[in-house]
A and B are shown apart, each in its own frame.
Chain A
Amino acid sequence: MVQPLTNRAKQVDAKPLSFLERLYIPSILRGMAITFRHMFQKKATVQYPEEKRPFSPVFRGLHVLNRDEEGRERCTACGLCAVACPAEAITMEAAERQKGEEHLYREEKYAAKYEINMLRCIFCGLCEEACPKDAIYLSETFAPANFTRKGFIYGKPDLLIPDPVGEPEAYAQAQGPNEGRQPSSARTS
């Protein structure tokens, strides 16, 4: 015989119902009591757009491309995120920094194009782990829904965080209320 998992198992019998049972009223009252009891218990859901659940500190959402404190892009297009990506969602193209671009890019080489295909991304965070330059982070933002697939190919304009020197307001806004955390969102919209 199969071992019962709980002790709440009840024997089912097919005896004809008694008069009291045929009235159904005690059963209905018992059921209603359960319903009413739940009305005063803590709700499992939240009123989403107004109220948001706190993220866990290891939450992995949309990617951002980081800048350093001088506002230069940190990414050097080393390709380690792309090679670490199990979904092959990341592609990039590198270019050499020219004279006069030193305030834009931190290193000699930079990613002229950087794309993440959010349709492929599985938000595993391996790109973040692989990055030797602290350039890519997974933020605390969900990928927004879209009607077409085209909107899910995120390029550098979508991913880069606002420049902390050039556009401090946008940077502060993007940082959000969680101070002292990693940049929480690049998408200021």
Chain B
Amino acid sequence: MAEEVKMLKVTIDNIPVEVPQGSTILQAARLIGGDVAPPAMCYYSKLKGSGGKCRTCLVEVSKGSTADPRPMPKLVASCRTGVMDGMEVKNITSDRVLDARNGVVEFLLINHPLDCPICDQAGECHLQDLSYVHGKEGTRYEFHRRTFDKHDLGPYIQLHMTRCILCYRCVQTAEQVTDGRAHGVLGRGDHAEIATYIEKALDNDFIGNVIDVCPVGALTDRTFRFKNRVWFTKPVDAHRDCPTCKGRVTLWQRGEEVLRVTARKDQWGEVEDWICNTCRFEKKKASDWIVEGPSKVDRHSVISQGHYVGLQRPTEIFSAVHDGRSPKLLMDIHSISEVNRPEVALSAIPGPATSATFDTDKKS
């Protein structure tokens, strides 16, 4: 007979919750949800062995357990600490935690280039969200930031090592999702960097998932590079019959054009299903996909701007009251505007647009 899983009672920020034995504090906090769940930059529930590296999920354990009620002397990483029966945890109710978290964010940003205006991850970047909540306005760092030689990870994945926070998620993804990892973290300490050692393309069928797991803009999609800002594209849920993966994705569209394909993300920003490279990089036509409907976007996210939910358009009455005439257009913006020309198919270009992309169509 299978042994019954023992349920443990934990109190996080004065909210009690029951979780099975073996859960971590972070998992218990995520069951409660909302502000109680600590932010996590390196922990990924779908990856074994992730967590414990970024220290953003630090919490204070004010009572160890019913058996041993002493508080833990230091703040602990909630993604790596198992719960005990009767444990009391303080997250946002503890000033120590908030102070420590501010310090962690400051350290994470020490070598970060803060090139959000250029970065394709801006708008869905976990580090950006974290620094908006916990970051300081200015930097106290006066020295040179880490810089790296540019590595190319094949035709699809762009690596910006300067933005990396060394969370190891991509390494674990390559290890656990693909059969054979070709990249890893080289060097130690300040010299640690994500690389393939010998310039080698990452070309596994599922290697595109490292883009989704990357919490910052270190690994980005080259087929989407500089095509558009995330918040100007419209996310829709779609699926296709894919032989290698489940094919359940989010399409990021501009009009009918599919600019980017990503896996669907849950409320913690983690992918629901891993998707294959064919779905992610090669199916950039709306006809490849069966659209299910607009994705749910948190209304506090910048991505939700301009995307109206439950919009009811008023019926057009002009032609009804004007004997069937349609209104006279004084100007068609598309006849003058040089932006979003139909002849420039951005989704068809494999890499980022260049000056030549827009020059050639001027001649035609």
On A, residues with C-beta under 8 Å from B are 76-80, 82-83, 91-96, 98, 101, 107-109, 112-113, 115, 117, 132-133, 148-150, 153, 155
Contact = CB atoms under 8 A, between A and B. Distances in A.
A91 B337 contact: yes
Given A95-B226, A96-B225, A115 B355 contact: no
B353 A93 contact: yes
B117 A153 contact: no
Contact of A95 (B122, B333, B353): B353
Nearest to A107: B118
Contacts of A117: 333, 337
Contacts of A153: 333, 336-337
Contacts of A91: 337, 339-340
Contacts of B122: 78
Question: Quick one: which of B305, B340, B355 has the most chain A CB within 10 A?
Answer: B355
A101 B352 CA distance: 15
Contacts, number: 84
B147 to A, nearest CB: 14
B231 A115 contact: no
Contacts of A80: 117
Given A78-B117, A96-B226, A83 B338 contact: no
Nearest to B231: A83
Contacts of A150: 331, 336
A95 B340 contact: no
Contacts of A93: 339-340, 344, 346, 353, 358
A107 B117 CA distance: 10
Given A107-B118, A149-B330, A101 B355 contact: yes
Nearest to B120: A109
Interface string B222-238: 00011111011000000
A113 B339 CA distance: 6
Given A91-B340, A95-B226, A76 B333 contact: no
Question: Quick one: which of B346, B352, B357 has the most chain A CB within 10 A?
Answer: B352
Instruction: Name the 7 nearest CB pairs between A and B, nearest first.
Output: A78-B117, A79-B229, A96-B352, A149-B331, A91-B339, A95-B353, A94-B226
Question: Quick one: which of A77, A96, A149 has the most chain B CB within 10 A?
Answer: A96
A76 B338 contact: no
A22 B228 CA distance: 80
Contact of B337 (A98, A115, A148): A115
Contacts of A109: 117-118, 226, 352
B116 interface: yes
B307 to A, nearest CB: 12
B297 interface: no
A133 B358 contact: no
20 contacts: A76-B117, A78-B117, A82-B232, A83-B232, A83-B305, A94-B227, A95-B354, A95-B355, A95-B358, A96-B226, A96-B353, A101-B355, A107-B118, A112-B355, A112-B357, A117-B333, A149-B330, A150-B331, A150-B336, A155-B338
B302 interface: yes
Interface string B199-231: 000000000000000000000000001111101
A78 B116 contact: yes
Contacts of B354: 95-96, 98
A186 B351 CA distance: 33
Nearest to B232: A79
A117 B337 CA distance: 9
Given A91-B340, A148-B331, 11 more contacts: A76-B118, A77-B226, A83-B229, A83-B231, A83-B232, A93-B358, A94-B226, A108-B115, A109-B352, A113-B358, A117-B337
Contacts of A98: 354-355
Interface string B97-116: 00000000000000000011
B353 A94 contact: yes
Given A96-B354, A113-B338, A132 B117 contact: yes
Contacts of B118: 76, 78, 107-109
Contacts of B339: 91-93, 113, 115
Interface string B332-351: 01001111100010100001
